Amino acid sequence: MSAKQYDAIVVGAGHNGLICAAYLAKAGRKVLVLERRHQVGGATTSEEIYPGFTYTCCSYVVSLLRPWIIRDLDLPRYGYEILPLESTFTPFPDGRYLMRDSDPERTRRSIAKFSPKDAEVYKRFGQEMAELGRLIKPLIDDPAPDPLSRDPRELLRLGRLGKQLRGQGDEWLYANVKMMTMSAVDFLSERFECEELIAPMAISGIIGTFLGIRSPGTAYVLLHHYMGEIDGSFRAWGLPKGGTGAIANAIAASARALGVEIRTEAPVAHLLMKGNKATGVVLENGDEIQAKQVVSGLDPHRTFLKLVGEEHLDPEITQQVKRFKMRGSSGKVNLALDALPDLACLPGPGPQLTGGITIAPSIDYLERGYDEAKYGAFSKKPFMDILIPSLTDPTVAPPGKHTMSIFVQYAPYHLKEGAADWPNQREAFGDAVIDTLSEYMPNLKDRILHRQVLSPWDLEQIYGLTEGNIFHGELSLEQLAFLRPMAGWSRYKTPVDNLWMCASGTHPGGGIMGAPGALCARTMLGKRAV
Amino acid sequence: MPIPSPFHERTSPLCTSYRWKDWGGYCAVSSYDTSHEREYFAFREAAGLLDVSPLYKYEVTGEDAAALLGRMMVRDVTKLKVGRVAYTCWCDDGGKVVDDGTVARLAEDHFRVTAADPTLHWLHALSRGFDVAIEDSSARLAALALQGPTSRDILKCVTDADLDKLKFFGVTKAKIGTNPGWISRTGYTGDLGYELWVERDHALATWDALMDAGHAYGIEPAGLDALDVARVEAGYVLLANDYFSAKKVVLESRKSTPHELGFGWMVDLNRNFIGRDAIAAEVKRGSIWQLVGLEISWEELEALYSSFNLPPSLPVTARRDALPVYVEDGRQIGQATSHTWSPILKKYLAIASVHRGFETLGGKLRIEHTVEYERRQVTATVAKLPFYDPERKRKP
Residue A145 confidence (pLDDT): 79
Summarize chain A as % helix, strand, coil (round to 5): 40, 20, 40
pLDDT in tens, A157-174: 778 777 777 777 777 777
Looking at this protein, which amino acid is placed at residue B81? K
pLDDT at A228: 59
Distance of alpha carbon B315 from the chain centroid: 21
- The answer on pLDDT for A529 being more than 70 is no
> Backbone phi, then psi, for A200, in 5-degree steps?
-65, -25
Q: What is the mean pLDDT of chain A?
A: 91
Is A106 exposed, middle or buried (CB count within 10 Å of its CB: 0-12, 13-18, 19+)? middle
Estimate to the nearest angstrom the gap between the alpha carbon of A285 and the chain centroid. Answer: 31
Does the pLDDT value for residue A230 go beyond 90?
no
Name residues 62-81 of chain A within 8 A of B (Cβ): 67-68, 70-71, 75-76, 81
Residue in B45, B313, B349, B391 to test binding to A, most A beta-carbons within 10 Å? B45
**CB-based contact, B345 to chain A, within 8 Å:** yes
The mean pLDDT value for A363-371 works out to: 97
Q: Residue A237: its pLDDT value, please?
A: 66
| Tens-digit pLDDT profile for residues A111-129 | 999 999 999 999 888 888 8
The residue ranges of chain B whose pLDDT is under 70 are: none
pLDDT computed for residue A229 by the predictor:
54
CB atoms B216 and A400 under 8 Å: yes
Instruction: Fill in the amino acid letter for A17.
Output: G
Cβ contact A95:A345 at 8 Å: yes
**pLDDT the model gives residue A232:** 52
Neighbours of B285 (CB within 10 A): 8
Q: Is the pLDDT reported for residue A234 higher than 50?
A: no
Q: Which of these ranges, A375-379, A478-482, B123-127, B269-273, has the smallest mean pLDDT?
A: A478-482
Best A70, A83, A101 member to test B by mutation, with max B CBs in 10 Å, is A83
Residues 28-47 of chain B with CB under 8 A from chain A are 33-35, 37-38, 41, 44-46
| Secondary structure (3-state) at A130 | helix
| Number of residues that make up chain B | 396
From chain B residues 213-242, the ones with a CB under 8 A of any chain A CB are: 215-218
Instruction: Please tell me the distance in Å from A417's CA to the nearest CA on chain B.
Output: 45
Smallest Cα–Cα separation from A247: which of A87, A60, A394? Answer: A60
User: What per-residue confidence (pLDDT) applies to A236?
Assistant: 53
User: Mind telling me how many Å the CA of B340 is from chain A's nearest CA?
Assistant: 12
Helix (H) or strand (E) segment spanning residue A189: helix A184-189
What whole-number distance in Å separates Cα of residue A328 and Cα of residue A316? 24
Residue range A143-152, pLDDT digits in tens: 887 777 777 7
Residue of B32, B35, B37, B41 to mutate, interface with A, max A Cβ within 10 Å: B41
Task: Report the pLDDT value the prediction gives residue A167, as an integer from 0 to 100.
Answer: 74
**B45 vs A395: CB contact, 8 Å cut-off?**
yes
Q: What is the spatial distance between Cα B220 and Cα B212, in angstroms, rounded to a whole number?
A: 11
Q: Could you tell me how far CA B281 lies from the centroid of its own chain?
A: 28
List the single residue in B with minimal CA-CA distance to A103. B34
Contact status of B341 with chain A (Cβ, < 8 Å): yes
- Complex confidence, ipTM: 0.87
CB contact under 8 A, A394 and B150: yes
Nearest to B38 among A84, A105, A395 (CB): A84
Å from B129 to nearest chain A CA?
Answer: 53
pLDDT in tens, B248-269: 999 999 999 999 999 999 999 9
- Residues facing residue B57 across a β-bridge: B114
pLDDT at A530: 43
User: How far apart (Å, rounded) are the C-alpha atoms in residues A396 and A344?
Assistant: 26
Residue A160: the pLDDT is: 77
- Residue A235 pLDDT > 50: no
Burial of B277 (0-12, 13-18, 19+ CB in 10 A): middle
8 Å CB contact of B34 and A106? yes
pLDDT in tens, A284-343: 999 999 999 999 999 999 999 999 999 999 999 999 999 999 999 999 999 999 999 999
- Is A231 at the interface with chain B, CB within 8 A? yes
Average pLDDT over residues A259-281: 97
User: Do the beta carbons of residue A407 and residue A330 sit within 8 Å?
Assistant: yes
pLDDT exceeds 90 at position A528: no
Q: Which of B217, B343, B344 sits opposite A399 (nearest CB)?
A: B217
Give yes or no for a cis peptide into B386 (omega within 30° of 0): yes
Closest CB to A231 among B45, B215, B346:
B346
